[in-house]
């Protein structure tokens, strides 16, 4: 039985807590901490048998019974909390991104490598655990499409964030496309060598005024010579639209969106299927459970997680390369970052 | 080069003429005959090089250069014209049904067997030549689904015929479901042993007043023990809906409807594809060309057509068995007919 | 908070226990009873906080704190346990079928009506709670397809049961098609008036030797005049195949199977999607959770369940009518049963 | 009745001749010319009633009865033949590309503008006449997806050309992607402002040795600010793969590939549909007929063709910009060309 503490009791912290309670039988949540914990959340936590409900996360760090922490606090604290957890000898599941600064992530990485105890460090790129993307990756890994020659990732949110969030988001590449940049690496099994990113403001002028874009297209060159494109939008009126394709010497694998049901209605208006699931938590709920289950397995069995600190680091480099490429309107090599 | 004459210059006669002109290079139309030929049709026929444009079909029968006739006159004349053509030693393509009376079809069959010259006699069950149904049949024939255990055929017209037509149509089983009854035999490669047919009047009360039904469901037992169902409707508001399924020990093959295009539109209203093609001539145009091409090949190469007189005869028996079953509300064996 | 006891700790009893623990926050399992409870199940039950783990279900009946029971014992005990629970004033969720005898179900129904306390009695036709069938029903209820004119239900298991089970199963209509007979009523919102059922033994001769069939086709006439067909097979090599269609004056609604993922692989071998989910518990897991959630809501809010005792009774009548129809090879009116 | 002459009797010349014979009733082919005409083609031409079968195309230019020419000769002659036809006052349908040199196309354009007789000049971008792409364009034009924000075009040939062809092809952008560059303009209704093109040699090293690429990805910026991507491959083992997507403020429209049939086979191996049509003439046959029909209509009715000389010119500029961008590894503005 692995004992865990959860740091941050907001939406994603609660999602992970419920995943562990219902789907990870060999983990037990000993404590949850949040300086701004809502009373209803505290009450709920106690009702499901979580012993420690704290304001101060250091109580978790100091509890020797706790083997692992899930860092679900706000992004700016991820790196600092990681360092504390490493110092306390806890295994770490850290929500993405670890940080927007490469230097800070490398500091965490160095601390991790210097730790006398071998620690699991997993980053919350949940999409790698989604049933559809995982099945695509499996087909590629098993050689079903031969050598990878081209990858495409399309990614559209159902609604743009509020403009006030945009200005603190780190920009669309860092805030949203980071998942899709990671998907290109995951699906292809290849590193990105160079990229060229374009952006436009087509959805909401307020996003442009806040200095960001809402529509992007990225061209990537991979280590084996293959090419890739990513396209993204902050707003697809028909729902959360997340699709990909990997093409190779022996074939091609694609996925589609998930819907609430698969019924099809034929009327004078056409032959109509349901729209994609709207809300990311609904669409990716299974992946949140799967990633936490893997985290516990990695601790228990000494395995490497599917998404380690290096993946967290590279994804940030790619997002920064995109921003630089768009700003300078030229292709940027990743080793420039 | 096979010389043909077309008897009947209505819609289906013109369809066959155009098929031959554009897609059957080794056939030449020498003549077309119709007692009520429209002037525009006569003019068109001459413009495309058809030498004989007649009121009287006997000029075709008497023309020794003509090897084969296409009987496209009204249904009540099919058997009589077949007998004349057999007497004249012409190969025959006869639109379906040969006749609504078994005795008359058997008279044609006997004449055919008695003919000193071996004649090709092909019946116009065009759906057997459709790309989708043909691909299903091919999959079954190649053993892709193993032994046939169940067949389903669904058949819905976009619009009911006028009530005045209904009363002379021979009834829905004879007029419409005859194609679907034939499909069960074609797709399964099995004879029907017994069937049970239900009918209802759900679409248009005028059809009921004319003594017919507009909604049917048929249960069939096949020679190898397999079962089948057919469902039919005179009116599907979304278009001409023709689908089937064959299920067996190794799998299942289904088809879908054809549409004008395969675009899919995703909006707040849903994810919408196009409706099925509305008009049977549009949906099945390819099959009309294919069946006439086969007719010419059978004459040229001495092959048996995919749909011979026996198929024409059995389809009528099945339609009559359906009518009897519905009337007496009991299962009817085909050998009762 | 509703306190429940579970009678029967086999596969389906455990499924319901887990559903309540993880997805029904306002229900608490106080006890579980099974005369043949496995030690591992008892241990698991205690570990998740179930206080009473009994051999004897009467301890549940006698526990005044318990508001409701889930009857998950073997089928032959469902009616007797229902009577005991009614006598004890407990709300009842009873797995299907209530019994194979109409008389026994009517005895339960009478006891229920005579109960001084108004009790919820819900039957475990879980498929009514499945996301796809529920969405179809919703489309029909909302008038999207107009008046129902035809219903089709196709139902194929991935593997036949062992021949020894077949002989005690009550036959394919009672054991398997009962869900599909219920689906026709559910999807159409119509009662069945008359039916004609055919059966064949195409899958496994041992099933025939055990006196049963493995392939069936049923024709049904509904109260509003509409028609329906059901087809069933004990073995579809490609997986658990459950599909339906409701056709009406304004359109048609169909569903499809669910798969592990929606990826599509294009290679020289074709364009291949995943097979349907194989195992019924995997396919219908969501429905098991939804039905128990509704049961608790009905108790809490005084609502009628979607599937009450009358539905349980009618489904048995329909299964018996099918068996009678097949035996006598004639259409059977439901009021004959 | 419009009288036409066909210059060039190779594959595409014959395709157009058959289209006119079978599907363009108000056009008549008076002559066909080819310096290397095969005897079988000459014989066929006479058998279908084409009066003039010539070695020398000038007989067509000199024939005053001929209203229009279809230029189907080898690419290097397109511009010269266009100039001759303009001088002779003939309407022109010219296969694409008009030329690989912008100067030559501009020479043709100037001659056309200087012609005292207003002449129709249509370029053979047949894909604009395809049922699927046309339906997409129609949806965009009708405002179904709102303002265009992103366009994607994917284009994969079933087999690469022989390496010896590659070296004279003008390169993959000019030879193959020119259709896809045109599609971005057609589907979006927007001009391209700037693009960035990458290429790789992933399919066949011989193509690389011949100085070309076989795998490309292009990023484009459109006049309204929207973005676009194109991806291309010389070899998709599963067939000719041509798909697109247009995304906008109100939704998204996509298309799929056409297949020989739409049957789906479910077995232990998966749920398998047919591969896309393999051969471009089979896939796009309908579009070849449609474009010639439009050409005749434009002459008859004084309409502008969907694809005029300006479209032919712009497509060449885009292909040249791609080549320049790839060579210099930088985004290129179209007004640089």
What is the C-alpha to C-alpha distance for residues D45 and D20, in angstroms, rounded to an integer? 12
Give the pair of three-digit tokens for residue A88.
Answer: 């306390």
The DSSP line for A255-324 is ----BS---EEEETTEEEEPPBP-SHHHHHHHHHHHHHHHHHHHHHHTPPPSS-HHHHHHHHHHHHHHHH
CATH, residue A239: 3.30.360.10
Neighbours of C175 (CB within 10 A): 20
- SS3 of residue A199 by DSSP: strand
- Subunit contact C252:A258, Cβ cutoff 8 A: no
Name the nearest CA neighbour of D152 among D97, D222, D215: D222
Q: Is residue A25 located within the same domain as residue A173?
A: no
Contacting partners of chain A (3+ CB pairs under 8 A): B, C, D
Helix boundaries (H) for A11-130: 11-23, 39-47, 58-62, 78-87, 102-114
> Is the predicted pLDDT of residue B22 greater than 80, yes or no?
no
pLDDT at D250 (0 to 100): 98
Q: How many CB pairs under 8 A join C and D?
A: 55
Of C78-92, C193-207, C313-327, D270-284, the least confident = D270-284
- Residues of D near A (Cβ–Cβ under 8 Å) read 147, 149-150, 152, 154, 156, 196, 198, 200-203, 215-219, 221, 225-229, 231, 233, 235-238, 241, 247, 249-252, 329-331
- Domain assignment present for residue A308? The answer is no
- Rounded to a whole number of angstroms, the distance from the CA of B242 to the nearest CA of chain A is 13
Clarify whether residues D183 and D330 are in a common domain: yes
Q: Which residues of A touch C262 (CB under 8 A)?
A: 132, 255-258
CA distance A124 to chain C (A): 21
Interface probe, candidates A50, A247, A263, A282, chain C, greatest C C-beta count within 10 A: A263
Question: Considering CB atoms only, which of D250, D255, D265 is closest to B253?
Answer: D265
Sign of the C-alpha dihedral, residues C107, C108, C110, C111?
positive
Chain A residue with Cα closest to B237: A268
CA angle D332, D336, D337 (to 5 degrees): 100
- For residues B24 and B79, membership in a common domain is answered with yes
Tell whether B75 is covered by a domain: yes
The pLDDT, as a whole number, for residue C25 is 79
Both tokens of A334, joined, read 């990743």
| Residue D71 neighbours by CB under 8 Å, 6+ apart | D7, D8, D77, D78, D81, D82, D85, D92, D93, D94, D95
| Mean pLDDT value across residues D122-130 | 96
How close does chain A come to B223, measured CA to CA in Å? 35
Number of other residues whose CB lies within 10 A of the CB of residue D267: 21
Say if CB D204 and CB D161 are below 8 A apart: no
Q: Determine the pLDDT at residue A25.
A: 79
Q: Residue range D178-187: average pLDDT?
A: 98
Q: How many residues does chain A have?
A: 337
- Which chain C residue is nearest to residue A250, measuring alpha carbons? C267
Domain count within chain A? 2
Residue B253 DSSP one-character state: E
Assess whether A10 and A151 both reside in one domain: no
Residue of D nearest to C262 (CA): D271
For residues B158 and B278, the answer to whether their CB atoms sit within 8 Å is yes
Q: List B134's β-bridge partners, or say none.
A: none
Residues in A closer than 8 angstroms to C250, CB to CB, are: 267-268
Residue C272 pLDDT more than 80?
A: yes
Nearest Cα to Cα of residue A173 among A150, A192, A191, A196:
A196
Which residues in chain C have their CB less than 8 angstroms from residue B203's CB? 149, 249
Confidence of residue A44 (pLDDT cuts 50, 70, 90): confident
| Contact yes or no for A200 and D225 at CB 8 A | yes
For residue C248, give how far its alpha carbon lies from the nearest alpha carbon of chain D (Å). Answer: 25
The helix (H) or strand (E) run that includes residue B52 is strand B52-54
Residue among B251, B266, B274 whose CB faces D267 most closely? B251
ipTM of the complex: 0.94
B83 CB-contact burial (10 Å; exposed 0-12 / middle 13-18 / buried 19+): middle
Q: Assess whether C149 and C232 both reside in one domain.
A: yes
Residue C100, in any domain of the structure = yes
Please answer whether residues C238 and C232 qualify as being in contact, where contact means their C-beta atoms are separated by less than 8 angstroms.
Answer: no
Does the CA dihedral A34-A36-A38-A39 come out positive or negative? positive
* Closest listed residue to residue B48, CA positions, set B30, B63, B74, B33: B30
Query: In CATH, what number is assigned to the domain containing residue A36?
Result: 3.40.50.720
Domain boundary among the residues A71, A92, A119 is at A119
> Using the beta-carbon criterion (under 8 Å), do C267 and D237 form an inter-chain contact?
yes
Q: What is the chain A residue with the closest CA to B266?
A: A238
A272 closest CB neighbour out of B239, B241, B271: B271
For the four alpha carbons of B19, B22, B25 and B26, in that order, the dihedral sign comes to positive
Chain D hits for C238, CB-CB cut-off 8 Å, are 266-268, 270-271
Nearest by CB to B261, which of D131, D144, D274?
Answer: D131
Per-residue pLDDT, A274: 96
**How does residue B297 score in pLDDT terms, banded at 50, 70 and 90?**
very high
Find out whether A323 and A173 touch, Cβ atoms under 8 Å: yes
Could you give the C-alpha distances from D208 to A222, B94, D171, D222, in angstroms and in order? 18, 59, 11, 30
- Cα gap D15→D285, rounded to integer Å: 8
Burial (CB count within 10 angstroms: exposed 0-12, middle 13-18, buried 19+), residue C141: exposed
Interface test with C, best of B143, B200, B207 (most C CBs within 10 A): B200
Cα–Cα dist C177/C232, whole Å? 7
Q: Are residues A198 and A66 in the same domain?
A: no
**Residue spans of alpha helices (H) in C34-94:** 39-47, 58-62, 78-87
For residue B198, the chain C residues in CB contact (below 8 A) are 196, 219, 221, 227
Q: What are A153-175's pLDDT values in tens digits?
A: 999 999 999 888 988 889 999 99
Give chain B positions within 8 Å (CB) of C229.
Answer: 152, 217, 219, 229, 231
Same domain, D25 and D150: no
Residue C111 domain flag? yes
Residues of A in Cβ contact (< 8 Å) with C251 = 265-268
pLDDT band for B299, please (50, 70, 90 cuts): very high
**Mean pLDDT, to the nearest integer, of A10-19?**
91
CA distance A67 to A54: 17
Asked, for residue B298, whether it belongs to a domain, the answer is no
Nearest CB neighbour to B202, from listed C196, C217, C225: C225
Shortest Cα–Cα distance, C134 to chain A (Å): 9
* Cβ distance of B265 and D131 shorter than 8 Å: no
Of C119, C138, C169, the last residue of a domain is: C119
Asked if D52 and D157 sit in the same domain, the reply is: no
Own/partner contacts of A56-60, CB < 8 Å, gap of 24 or more, are: A57/A5, A57/A7, A57/A33, A57/A81, A58/A84, A59/A31, A59/A33, A60/A5, A60/A7, A60/A31, A60/A33
Asked if C238 and C108 sit in the same domain, the reply is no
Instruction: Say whether B262 and D255 touch across the interface (CB within 8 A).
Output: yes
**Which residues on A lie below 8 Å from C285 (Cβ)?**
none
> Is the pLDDT reported for residue A67 higher than 80?
yes
Averaged confidence pLDDT in chain A: 95
Q: Is residue C211 part of a domain?
A: yes
The nearest CA of chain B is from the CA of C64 a distance in Å of 51
Task: Assess contact for D305 and D294: CB atoms under 8 A.
Answer: yes
Q: Which residues of D touch C241 (CB under 8 A)?
A: 266
pLDDT at A77: 96
| Residue ranges in D189-279 assigned as alpha helix (H) | 205-209
* Strand B251-254 to B264-267 pairing: unpaired
* Residue at a domain's end among D75, D101, D119: D119
pLDDT tens for residues C32-77? 999 999 999 999 888 778 999 999 999 999 999 999 999 999 999 9
Q: With pLDDT > 70 as the criterion, what percentage of chain A qualifies?
A: 100
Contact C271 D266 (CB under 8 A): no
Same domain, A39 and A144: no
Among B125, B130, B232, which residue's Cα sits nearest to residue B171?
B232
Q: Which is nearest to D51 in space by CA: D28, D35, D34?
A: D28
Per-residue pLDDT averaged across A196-218, rounded?
A: 96
- The model's confidence at residue B23, banded by pLDDT at 50, 70 and 90, is confident
> Mapping DSSP to helix (H, G, I), strand (E, B) and coil, where does residue D321 land?
helix
- The pLDDT value recorded for residue C82 is 98
Of C52, C88, C39, whose CA–CA distance to C67 is shortest?
A: C88
Task: Output the CA angle A132-A134-A135, nearest 5 degrees.
Answer: 65
CB A230 within 8 A of CB D228: no
Q: Which chains touch C (3 or more CB pairs under 8 A)?
A: A, B, D
* Higher-confidence position of B144 and D25: B144
DSSP conformation class of D259: B
Q: How far is the C-alpha of C320 from the C-alpha of D167, rounded, in Å?
A: 76
Residues A273 and A162 in one domain: yes
Tens of pLDDT, residue by residue over B90-134, are: 999 999 999 999 999 999 999 999 999 999 999 999 999 999 999
In a 10 Å sphere around its CB, with 0-12 CB exposed, 13-18 middle and 19+ buried, how is residue C164 labelled?
Answer: exposed
Instruction: Return the percentage of chain C with pLDDT > 90, whole number.
Output: 89
Instruction: Tell whether the torsion through CA atoms of B275, B281, B286 and B288 is positive or negative.
Output: positive
- Write down the pTM of the prediction: 0.95
B245, closest residue in chain C (CA to CA): C154
- Domain residues for B88? 2-119
CB contact under 8 A, A274 and B272: no
**pLDDT score of B325:** 98
Residues D106 and D148 grouped into a single domain: no
Q: Which residues of A touch D218 (CB under 8 A)?
A: 219
Indicate whether A291 belongs to any domain.
no
Q: Alpha carbon A122 to chain centroid distance?
A: 11
Residues in chain A within 8 Å Cβ distance of B266: 236, 238-239, 241, 275-276
Instruction: Find the angle CA(C155)-CA(C159)-CA(C160) to the nearest 5 degrees.
Output: 90
Burial of residue C145 (number of CB atoms within 10 Å: 0-12, 13-18, 19+): buried
Residue D105 lies in a domain: yes
């Amino acid at each position: 039985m692995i004992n865990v503490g959860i740091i941050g009791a907001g939406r994603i912290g609660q999602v992970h807590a419920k995943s562990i309670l219902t789907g990870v039988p060999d983990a037990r949540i000993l404590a949850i901490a949040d300086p701004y914990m809502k009373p209803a959340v505290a009450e709920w936590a106690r009702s499901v048998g979580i012993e420690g409900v704290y304001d101060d996360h250091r109580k978790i760090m100091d509890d020797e019974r706790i083997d692992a922490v899930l860092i679900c606090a706000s992004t700016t604290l991820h790196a600092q909390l990681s360092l504390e957890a490493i110092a306390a000898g806890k295994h770490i599941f850290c929500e993405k991104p670890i940080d927007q600064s490469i230097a800070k992530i490398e500091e965490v990485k160095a601390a991790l490598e210097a730790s006398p105890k071998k620690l699991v460090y997993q980053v919350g790129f949940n999409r790698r655990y989604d049933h559809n993307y995982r099945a695509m990756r499996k087909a590629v890994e098993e050689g079903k499409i031969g050598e990878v020659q081209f990858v495409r990732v399309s990614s559209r949110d159902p609604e743009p964030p509020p403009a006030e969030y945009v200005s603190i988001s780190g920009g669309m590449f860092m805030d949203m496309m980071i998942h899709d940049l990671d998907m290109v690496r995951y699906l292809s099994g290849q590193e990105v060598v160079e990229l060229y990113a374009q952006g436009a403001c087509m959805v909401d002028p307020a996003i442009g005024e806040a200095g960001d874009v809402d529509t992007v297209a990225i061209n990537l060159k991979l280590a084996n010579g293959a090419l890739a494109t990513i396209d993204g939008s902050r707003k697809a009126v028909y729902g959360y639209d997340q699709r990909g394709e990997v093409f190779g010497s022996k074939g091609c694998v694609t996925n589609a969106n998930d819907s609430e049901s698969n019924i099809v209605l034929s009327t004078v208006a056409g032959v109509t299927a349901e729209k994609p699931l709207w809300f990311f938590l609904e669409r990716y709920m299974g992946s949140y459970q799967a990633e936490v289950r893997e985290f516990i397995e990695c601790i228990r069995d000494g395995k490497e997680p599917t998404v380690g600190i290096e993946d967290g680091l590279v994804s940030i480099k790619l997002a920064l390369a995109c921003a630089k490429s768009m700003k300078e309107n030229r292709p940027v090599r990743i080793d420039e970052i």
